[in-house]
Structure 1
Amino acid sequence: MYTLNWGHLSLAEFLQHYWQKKPVLIKAGFKQFVDPLSADEVAGLALEEEIESRIVSNNNNNWQLHSGPFTDYANFGEQNWTLLVQAVDHWHQEAAKLLQPFRFIPNWRIDDLMVSFSTPGGGVGPHLDQYDVFIIQGEGKRHWRVGMPDPSLEQHCPHPRLLQVSPFTDCINVITEPGDILYIPPGCPHDGISIENSLNYSVGFRAPSQKDLINGFADHLLDQNLSGNRFSDQNRQPAESIGAITAADLQQVQQLVSDMANNKELLPHWFGEMISQAKHELDINQPDPHYTVEEIAEYITEGSVLTRVGGLRCCYYQADASSDILLFINGDKVSIPATELATVKLLTDQEILSVTDNLIFSQSDERLQLLTQMINLGYWYFTE
């Protein structure tokens, strides 16, 4: 297990002074850091069709981007390229443990773990991200420059699928070593160039845009066949110009849209389903045949341990202490009685259900049925 060493900071101080405000280097954030996987294993993941990977190379300012899977790296040479593999936490259990120290932010905000292998001179160029990221230095060293948000910066595309930013003034200029952690808020320009063969681990956070939210909400309304109220103008006065859209018209349209978005019954259902869906494929294997409730009860009695599949997104919403709980897992929604909050927290807050945890499920037929359903969906699996 990885333990985050804040050094001269505390978690409270970090959240108050740095989170979404300014970048910071957490020197030796992971003391005596040991890489959870090797460069060869990263290359092995990039062989798989279902895993998103890409290589960014730069030779004499000729930027290229290649999409995986990759079976051979000989053509890229020994320097000036980076292999990036997305959602490694979905496929590599040891690497997924790197996310745990950052779970002081709610589950729904954490996105995935991206791992990159870089040769000397490798990087993706100076760029901006619109989300928070912690970059952990693994083996090797990397030269990082990070700046503060600057509206005068211009973005450009040296390659059709590669967005970079114009030169910026840095506030951090460091060489990161194994275990160092660099936190970069949204909108901060940054550029990392590998000094030697190196591994980096990026813990990214979801930051849905207004467009994403509106599109997702509209899709939910369509899926649920919810049309809501219609435009009404029963107090309409004679139009001065029949071609005009008036401010009063727009105000009423805005109110219609706002009323739908402010629907406190609808909003949590939509948001929970949307935000719990995985952006990348999960390594799900449903048991065949499915387990019966009686079989799960027997496994629990025998002292079995359950592990949640890597990258599975679990969260819940409860309006108040007496309201039913909406449990969201990978876009699925289950309504749970208000009295079962402790049970829900086991499923959402813990990646491993111990022998003791599982005994709690066996104390109730409803809990046991819920656990059996989750196992048969492939969301949890027996590890002991």
Structure 2
Amino acid sequence: MIIDFKDLTPETFLAEYWQKKPLIIKGAFANFEDPIEANELAGLAMEDFIESRIISNINANWDVKHGPFDDFSSFGEKNWTLLVQATNHWSSGVNALIEPFKFIPNWRIDDVMVSFSTPGGGVGPHLDQYDVFIIQGEGKRRWQVGKPDSTLENLTPHEDLKQVSMFSAVIDEITEPGDLLYIPPNHPHDGVALDNSINYSVGFQAPSAQELISAFADYQLDNHLFEQRFDDSKRVVTETPEEMHEADFELLNSVMNSAFKNETVMQDFLGKYLTSVHHTLNLLVPVEPLSIELIKEILADGEELYPVLGLKCILVNQPKIKILFINGENYPVDTDTLELAKLLASKKPLTKDLLESSMDCLKNQQLLTKVINKGLWCFECN
């Protein structure tokens, strides 16, 4: 599955549109078939470990209900939308929708939210602070997208719903199956279903400075880092004790900056932070730990190893540091384990032939058995 960019290429898209302006590509996916049906999506919304909500707008009264849901009949036949977060964690077909966007690094991709809307259904005009690609599945939807506008009024028609006032649209189109809409951050948009409609939103994580600093503070506390006090041993007599002098400011500032300038610490923090999954994973931990001998036997029988759906991996492959991050944990990498680490980070199915050159190395055996016995890779495609 690839994107038909028409007159564009991935390179020109990034140069001209990415985080700059919205874009609609009609027929981006020819003969598109929905990887999940509405009733399957409803089934996921019945699970208490999957985040879902229904947003309705009846006679201009907005309402939000949070899952799990036992029944949908009370919502009627129009003016509501079911949204299921991280549907790609539970559907291999939905997870495959990420593949066409691999011209952007894996660490930027967050998850795929799927929505089912009845006629008139939508979530109202709003802003997102991240990039999103929206693939139109079944049905049709009218999309309006505007430019960033500081004059827009923030609205809260429901305590769980943030909207903005109506805006001037630069895109006003009806999307049909296989159409692709790209919306950059901070661009107001509104989508209203014209009939029963399914949309797939491939979202990208974009942590703010506030979120990163807050998470980094927690990381330091958890790991007992930078607990030493600042060095004030070169203090001289002051004639103005009521003032904070430039030298003192620089001293305290350097203490704080020393944490951010510690490359080893920052690599570890960012790798763990960016691979931490915010929604439940279907981890398949073996009942009994698998030995490398048993793993080799299963691979020899033609079985393949698959990463669990929604798993996040980052390989840091730099001259000074090599680390594999998986699901918020780090796995040291060296020359012997680099090729296996690349295979794991790619999240492609692993066969006996792919792994053959790695299996004679004890460190590779240990790495492979560890990720299998943690339930991160398994011999069944979930």
Give the drift of 1:67: 0.3
- List aligned pairs for 1:30-45, cutoff 5 A: 30-45=29-44
- List aligned pairs for 1:190-201, cutoff 5 A: 190-201=189-200
Conservation of the 8 A alpha-carbon contact between 1:300 and 1:359: no
CA deviations 1:104-150 (Å, max 9, x no partner) are 21121110010000000000000000000000000000000001111
Who is 1:269 aligned against?
268
Give the drift of 1:294: 1.0
Provide TM-score, normalisation by structure 2: 0.96
CA distance in 2, matches of 1:14, 1:199: 25
CA deviations 1:52-110 (Å, max 9, x no partner) are 00001011211111100011111111111000000011111111101111122112111
Moved more, 223-232 or 169-178: 223-232
- List aligned pairs for 1:155-304, cutoff 5 A: 155-239=154-238, 241-304=240-303
Who is 1:53 aligned against?
52
Indicate the RMSD between aligned Cα atoms, in angstroms: 1.6
- 5+ unaligned residues in a row in structure 2: which ranges? none
CA distance in 2, matches of 1:319, 1:355: 28
CA distance in 1, matches of 2:161, 2:243: 44
Q: Aligned partner of 2:82: which letter? A: L
Conservation of the 8 A alpha-carbon contact between 2:304 and 2:351: yes
Give the drift of 1:235: 4.3
Who is 1:18 aligned against?
17
Q: Label 1:58 to 1:241 Cα distance change in 2 as closer, same or farther (>3 A).
A: farther
CA distance in 2, matches of 1:5, 1:231: 57
CA distance in 1, matches of 2:340, 2:172: 46
- The reply to whether residue 309 of structure 1 matches residue 308 of structure 2 is yes
Conservation of the 8 A alpha-carbon contact between 1:300 and 1:362: no
Provide TM-score, normalisation by structure 1: 0.95
Moved more, 289-298 or 345-354: 345-354
Conservation of the 8 A alpha-carbon contact between 1:90 and 1:283: yes
Give the drift of 1:246: 4.1
CA distance in 1, matches of 2:42, 2:84: 9
Who is 2:371 aligned against?
374
- The reply to whether residue 140 of structure 1 matches residue 104 of structure 2 is no
Who is 1:359 aligned against?
356
CA distance in 1, matches of 2:111, 2:306: 18
Who is 1:92 aligned against?
91
Who is 2:104 aligned against?
105
- The reply to whether residue 336 of structure 1 matches residue 333 of structure 2 is yes
CA distance in 1, matches of 2:300, 2:21: 50
Q: Aligned partner of 2:8: which letter? A: L
Q: Label 1:48 to 1:360 Cα distance change in 2 as closer, same or farther (>3 A).
A: farther
SS in 1 for 2:143: strand
CA distance in 2, matches of 1:61, 1:228: 54
Give the drift of 1:253: 2.2
Conservation of the 8 A alpha-carbon contact between 1:228 and 1:260: no
Q: Label 1:240 to 1:153 Cα distance change in 2 as closer, same or farther (>3 A).
A: farther
Conservation of the 8 A alpha-carbon contact between 1:361 and 1:371: no
- 5+ unaligned residues in a row in structure 1: which ranges? none
Conservation of the 8 A alpha-carbon contact between 1:324 and 1:338: no
Conservation of the 8 A alpha-carbon contact between 1:305 and 1:358: no
CA distance in 2, matches of 1:234, 1:375: 52
Who is 1:346 aligned against?
343
Give the drift of 1:255: 2.1
Moved more, 351-360 or 185-194: 351-360
- List aligned pairs for 1:311-330, cutoff 5 A: 311-320=310-319, 323-330=320-327
SS in 1 for 2:337: helix
Give the drift of 1:208: 0.6
Q: Percent identity?
A: 47
Give the drift of 1:162: 0.5
